[in-house]
């Protein structure tokens, strides 16, 4: 990520792809100035690796409590981050937190469907809305009118190829995960609506598929390790311009059919 990206916020940053993203951003040769690494239980055992990273880089990484399913937690974190970024605003918001439950149309419980919607759609929607004023501030403060980029002002949603309606038939029988697919397809539409609504503010929106990654969600049979996925995601984010506003791409930059 370019040095001119001053501030980044990542949800679900305590493990998996989110944690790796914080790690690569802070260890980059041209590191980002401020990384707000959000997680829902900063003091719990699942956040130890993130806390260790923050301790190693106290001037860059700030751990913020943020449960994407809890509006008051989102509002509190937006207030805190707002006071820390000041007049520069927040350049990049990464909606990474997500949940996956297995099940077909017939076997998915109402609770799993609700949880998928709460975390994978309502979460990014509320996070985007509450942090938007900070991203708008960054867009205005950038001194680069007429351009779009992740180093200026952007919201990246971590989506999945499993949201692709065009490629559903090829994968549904061995990996239904119906609630996940439906919620991530909704997340993609949310991203498109945002790209229409906030284009006037010169804020870039995109949905990125990280590949099939060996994390708790991806499992041990996945194709790639988190470092490879995140290297690709950061490269793609760095390359985005207004031409990719509203795009759905994989971690290698290839467009995914809707």
User: How big is the CA angle at 74 (ends 127 and 95), to the nearest 5 degrees?
Assistant: 35
- Residue 157 main-chain phi, psi, to 5 deg: -100, 130
Element (H, E) at 52: helix 48-56
The CA R_g of the chain, rounded to the nearest whole Å, is 17
CA neighbor of 6 nearest in space, from 113, 120, 142: 142
State yes or no: residue 46 binds ligand NDP (CB under 6 A): yes
DSSP assigned state of 225: -
Q: Scanning residues 104 to 123, which ones bind ligand NDP (CB under 6 A)?
A: 119
State yes or no: residue 234 binds ligand NDP (CB under 6 A): no
Query: Least distance (Å) from ligand NDP to the CB of residue 87?
Result: 28
In the bound state, the residue with its beta carbon closest to ligand NDP is 16
Spatial contact of 32 and 25, defined as CB atoms under 8 Å apart:
yes
Spatial contact of 9 and 32, defined as CB atoms under 8 Å apart:
no
The rounded distance, in Å, linking the Cα atoms of 32 and 27 is 9
Query: Least distance (Å) from ligand NDP to the CB of residue 210?
Result: 5
Please give the distance of CA 60 from its chain centroid, rounded to a whole number.
19
State yes or no: residue 16 binds ligand NDP (CB under 6 A): yes
Task: Assign 224 to helix, strand or coil.
Answer: strand
Build a one-symbol-per-residue string for 147-186: x at contacts with ligand NDP by CB under 6 A, - elsewhere.
-----------x-x--------------------------
Q: Of 45 and 143, which has the nearer Cβ to ligand NDP?
A: 45
The rounded distance, in Å, linking the Cα atoms of 252 and 229 is 9
Query: Least distance (Å) from ligand NDP to the CB of residue 40?
Result: 4
State yes or no: residue 210 binds ligand NDP (CB under 6 A): yes
Query: How many alpha carbons fall within 13 Å on the CB side of residue 178?
Result: 13
State yes or no: residue 207 binds ligand NDP (CB under 6 A): no
Q: Of 70 and 201, which has the nearer Cβ to ligand NDP?
A: 70
Spatial contact of 153 and 201, defined as CB atoms under 8 Å apart:
yes
State yes or no: residue 65 binds ligand NDP (CB under 6 A): no
Query: Least distance (Å) from ligand NDP to the CB of residue 113?
Result: 15
Binding residue for ligand NDP (CB under 6 A) from 8, 9, 10, 17?
17
Binding residue for ligand NDP (CB under 6 A) from 5, 7, 14, 137?
14
Query: Least distance (Å) from ligand NDP to the CB of residue 245?
Result: 21
Binding residue for ligand NDP (CB under 6 A) from 42, 98, 186, 207?
98
State yes or no: residue 54 binds ligand NDP (CB under 6 A): no
The rounded distance, in Å, linking the Cα atoms of 117 and 73 is 18
| Residues at the site binding ligand NDP, with contacts judged by CB under 6 A | 11-12, 14-18, 39-41, 46, 67-69, 96-99, 119, 158, 160, 209-210, 212-213, 215-218, 222
């Amino acid at each position: 990520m370019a040095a001119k990206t001053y501030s980044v916020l990542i949800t679900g940053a305590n493990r998996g792809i989110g944690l790796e993203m914080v790690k690569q951003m802070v260890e980059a040769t041209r590191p980002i100035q401020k990384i707000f690494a959000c997680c829902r239980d900063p003091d719990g055992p699942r956040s130890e690796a993130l806390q260790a990273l923050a301790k190693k880089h106290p001037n860059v990484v700030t751990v913020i409590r943020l449960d994407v399913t809890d509006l008051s937690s989102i509002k509190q974190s937006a207030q805190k981050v707002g006071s820390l970024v000041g007049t520069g605003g927040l350049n990049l918001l990464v909606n990474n937190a997500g949940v996956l439950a297995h099940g077909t149309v017939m076997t998915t419980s109402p609770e799993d469907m609700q949880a998928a919607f709460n975390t994978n759609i309502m979460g990014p929607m509320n996070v985007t809305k509450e942090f938007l004023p900070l991203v708008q501030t960054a867009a205005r403060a950038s001194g680069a009118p007429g351009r779009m980029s992740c180093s200026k002002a952007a919201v990246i949603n971590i989506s999945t190829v499993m949201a692709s309606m065009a490629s559903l038939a090829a994968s549904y029988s061995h990996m239904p995960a119906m609630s996940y697919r439906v919620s991530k397809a909704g997340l993609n539409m949310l991203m498109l609506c945002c790209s229409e609504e906030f284009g006037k503010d010169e804020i870039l929106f995109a949905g990125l598929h990280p590949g099939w990654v060996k994390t708790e969600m991806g499992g041990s049979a996945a194709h790639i390790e988190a470092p490879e996925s995140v290297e690709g995601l950061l490269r793609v984010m760095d390359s985005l311009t207004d031409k990719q506003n509203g795009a759905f791409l994989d971690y290698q930059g290839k467009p995914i059919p809707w």
